[in-house]
Amino acid sequence: MISHPIASIIGILIVALSLSAFLIWVERRLLALWQDRYGPNRVGPFGLLQVLADMIKIFTKEDWIPPFADKPVFVIAPAIIMVTVLMSFAVLPVAPGIIVSDLNIGLLFFLGMSSLGVYSIVLAGWASGNKYSLLGGLRAAAQMISYEVFMGLSLMGVVLLAGTFNLTRIVEAQRGLWYVVPQFLGFVLFLIAGVAEARRLPFDLPEAEAELVAGFHSEYSGMKFGMFFVGEYLGITLISSMIAVLFLGGWNGPWLPPLAWFLIKVFAFLCFFILLRASLPRLRFDQLMSLGWKVMFPLALANLLVTGAIVLAKK
Amino acid sequence: MTNPMEIPFFAAGAVAVIATLLAITRTIAVHALLYLIVSLLAVAVVFYTMGAPVVAALEVIIYAGAIVVLFVFVVMMMNLGAQDSETERKWLAWRAWIGPAVLSALLLFEVIYLVVRAPVSATIGSISTPKEIGLALYGPYLLGVELASMLLLGALVGACHVGRISRSGREVQQ
């Protein structure tokens, strides 16, 4: 099943974008279920058309740029998150042959794009010319620096076992045993870093509604706000897909076709992300920083050292 | 002109030079940093076209993704306004350009001389597996790795000293 790269590009773009739009509905319904209420259930069957209604609303809203904002940066910022997240989907092996670019440095490309995504939040916070937004942007910058370091380190155990940065080959190396077993600590660390990377509860400090109004996107309206919103859901989809690829054997699995396995794994993690939001309180900012540097970072280093020693001893 | 990577190479090189010039001449600090990011990304493309994909990826992750984020962080903390842009504009007087321009011109002549005398081959290496990177770092480049790690250790000790907390639990006033 080898498909044309352009077909892959179009397919992955359409699926990723519509999946993240659909996720907004899934999140609202699931949150409602866990909180004993109904959620959106009026528009269409099961409220499925709610997303469409929201989109029509957001497209027809006035696109307002505040006079005190730095106009060019204010306009560029929401585009950056969309570009960087969608670029990361390019190296994602969905199923055998369904990949846009089978880069040799796929994993490093993903890390690079995710570290560039921070600029979107930071610059939006700065360009808004608003104290709360600026605080949100500052928090985003500090949070990303604390979490990116051990995010990269937690993946190096997988790289050691597979011996490559190529994501397709990492998936193929997991045919016998998924890396979640030998790399369980790495899996947990990456999951936590992924939540922080996607800025979801309990790590959503850049936009903490209760204290910062809406943080970096207070001043945004219309489709510019929509881009941050969809960008966030695309980010969750990306992190869930990366967890599936790196630790749960990607498309590997018995009986069902590869694509189905991949989607099942991704969807399970998407629901897990939503469950986190429904069940955990938000951390304080200094707790978040000290957790990152004092607990997660040493654990990731220890995981890397032990994995390296075991790989060396086996030879 | 047989190498298909030559056009992207020169295009990325041109972007890097222009973005760097703009990064120097912008008077709003955040705009200058944005051009610096573009310049670093262009340099990453240059590395990629020369056959060094890992160096390109590290350029994006470390320089564009981490170090410049810190720069932006500090600039945001300082909360610069229109007044600072005015000061910046005064500093960019033509007299300030003479020294750096002479030095850069010397370097430029040197580069032109080297390119004309001995054109280097387009590829600088093809290291792309983790094993090759490890062997290169802890083999021929061991001295560089150790020197860099000592420097970083020194910086870390310095940072710990500046941010230390006294017995009573309050930050030490400098």
Q: pLDDT tens for residues B102-152?
A: 998 999 888 888 877 766 555 556 667 788 888 888 888 899 999 999 999
CA nearest neighbour of A47 among A59, A62, A31: A31
**Is B142 in the same domain as B121?**
no
Is there a single domain that holds both residue B41 and residue B71?
yes
- Residue-wise pLDDT for B31-73, tens only, equals 888 899 999 999 998 888 887 888 888 888 888 888 888 888 8
* CB A107, CB A167: distance < 8 Å: yes
In angstroms, the CA A128 to CA A215 distance is 10
pLDDT at residue A1, as a whole number: 45
Of A184, A156, A151, A191, whose CA–CA distance to A170 is shortest?
A156
Contact A141 B66 (CB under 8 A): no
A124 alpha carbon, distance to own chain's centre: 19
The answer to pTM > 0.80 is: yes
Q: Is the per-residue pLDDT at B173 higher than 70? A: no
Q: Verify that B39 and B81 share a domain, yes or no.
A: yes
**Co-location of B147 and B92 in the same domain:** no
Angle between helices A71-88 and A222-247 (to 10 degrees): 30
Chain A residues whose CB is inside 8 A of the B77 CB are 138
Question: Does B120 share its domain with B163?
Answer: no
> How far does the CA of residue A310 sit from the closest CA of chain B (Å)?
16
User: Considering only CA atoms, which of B136, B138, B58, B129 is closest in space to residue A159?
Assistant: B129
Option in A76, A112, A122 nearest B72 (CB): A122
Alpha carbon B146 to its chain centroid, in Å, reads: 21
The parent domain of residue B70 ranges over 6-127
Is B149 in the same domain as B87? no
Stated length of chain B: 174
Query: In the block, which residue shows the tokens 């007044």?
Result: B83
Q: In this structure, is residue B65 part of a structural domain? A: yes
The Cα A310–Cα B153 span in angstroms is: 27
Are A118 and B37 an interchain contact pair (Cβ–Cβ within 8 Å)?
no
Distance CA A190, CA A193 (A): 5
For residues B12 and B90, state if they share a domain.
yes
**B1 domain-assigned:** no
**Which pLDDT score is estimated for B149?**
93
Residue A278 confidence (pLDDT): 83
Q: At what angle do helices A131-162 and A106-116 cross, to 10 degrees?
A: 170
Tell me, yes or no, whether B72 lies in a domain: yes
CA distance A315 to A311: 7
Give a yes or no: residue B84 inside a domain. Answer: yes
In a domain, B154, yes or no: yes
B123 and B143: one domain? Answer: no
Instruction: Using alpha carbons, select from B19, B81, B18, B71 the residue that is nearest to residue A129.
Output: B81
DSSP classification of residue B65: I
What pLDDT is recorded for position B155? 93
Tokens describing residue B157: 């000790």
Residue B89 has pLDDT above 60, yes or no: yes
In chain A, how many H helices and how many E strands?
13, 0
Q: Is it the case that residue B28 has pLDDT exceeding 90?
A: no
Q: How many CB atoms lie within 10 A of CB A279?
A: 10
| Residue B133 included in any domain | no
Query: Are B75 and B42 part of one and the same domain?
Result: yes
pLDDT for the residue B148: 93
For chain A, the domains span 5-314
Backbone phi, then psi, for A98, in 5-degree steps? -95, 90
Interface contact A105-B64, CB threshold 8 A: no
- Asked whether residue B113 is domain-assigned, the answer is yes
For residues A161 and A311, the answer to whether their CB atoms sit within 8 Å is: yes
Average pLDDT of each block of 10 consecutive residues along chain A (315 residues)?
71 83 85 85 81 84 81 87 88 81 85 88 83 83 84 88 86 84 88 85 72 74 82 89 87 82 88 87 82 89 90 85
What is the structure's pLDDT at B1? 46
- Closest partner residue to A138 among B56, B77, B131, by Cβ? B77
What does the pLDDT read at residue B118? Answer: 65
Q: Are B61 and A108 in contact (CB under 8 A)?
A: yes
Residues of chain B contacting A168 with CB distance shorter than 8 Å: none
Q: Are residues B74 and B102 in the same domain?
A: yes
Quickly list DSSP for A258-295. HHHHHHHHHHHHHHHHHHHHHH-PPPPHHHHHHIIIII
Mutating which of A71, A88, A91, A118 best tests the B interface, going by the most B Cβ atoms within 10 A? Answer: A118
Q: Judge whether A271 is closer than 8 Å to chain B, CB to CB.
A: no
Secondary structure of residue A70 in the 3-state scheme: coil
Q: 3-class DSSP state for residue B139?
A: coil
Paired tokens of A198: 């996607």
Contact A53, A47 (CB under 8 A): no
B61 touches chain A (CB under 8 A): yes
CB atoms within 10 A of CB B73: 18
Q: Is residue B82 part of a domain?
A: yes
B31 and B91 assigned to the same domain: yes
How many structural domains are present in chain B?
2
Taking contacts as CB-CB distances below 8 angstroms, the residues of chain A near B171 are: none
Contact B73 A73 (CB under 8 A): no
Residue B30's Cβ-side half-sphere holds a number of Cα atoms within 13 Å equal to 28
User: For the domain that residue B95 is a member of, what is the CATH number?
Assistant: 1.20.120.1200
- ipTM over 0.85 threshold: no
Q: In terms of domains, do B40 and B62 share one?
A: yes
Q: Which of A109, A113, A138 sits opposite B76 (nearest CB)?
A: A138
